[in-house]
Structure 1
């Protein structure tokens, strides 16, 4: 699955266009490497998102195309905020 789509489906970022802009601004990395929005992700990857004044680090646990809002938190595990 593409990184920008995963960020939207898992609700780490609300909209796919915002996720794409974050990737283009070099604010998202996978396993320590800056990632493009089209980068493929797999289970076990560590995603690091740099927001304005904080960094969110999460591990990918599950990948699914469609997820209900209440089940979205089961797609990742927060490592640090």
Structure 2
């Protein structure tokens, strides 16, 4: 699954266009490498997203195409 779609489906970012802009703005990385919006996410990947002055680091646990709200939380596991 594309990183921009994954960020939207897992509800890390609200809209796919904003997720694409975050990737293009070099604020998203997959396994330590800067991500482009078309990069593919796999189970076990570590995603880092930088928001303003904060940062969110998660592990991909599951990939679901059209998750319901309850399923979205199961797609990721937050790291410290």
Number of equivalenced pairs: 80
1:12 matched to 2:12: yes
Superposition TM-score, scaled by structure 1 size: 0.97
1:68 matched to 2:60: no
CA distance in 2, matches of 1:7, 1:55: 14
Superposition TM-score, scaled by structure 2 size: 0.98
Query: Alignment partner of 2:42: what SS?
Result: coil
Q: Where does residue 51 of structure 1 map in the other structure?
A: 51
CA distance in 2, matches of 1:16, 1:38: 12
CA distance in 2, matches of 1:23, 1:56: 14
Shift of 1:53: 1.0
Runs of 4+ in 1 over 4 A off after TM superposition: none
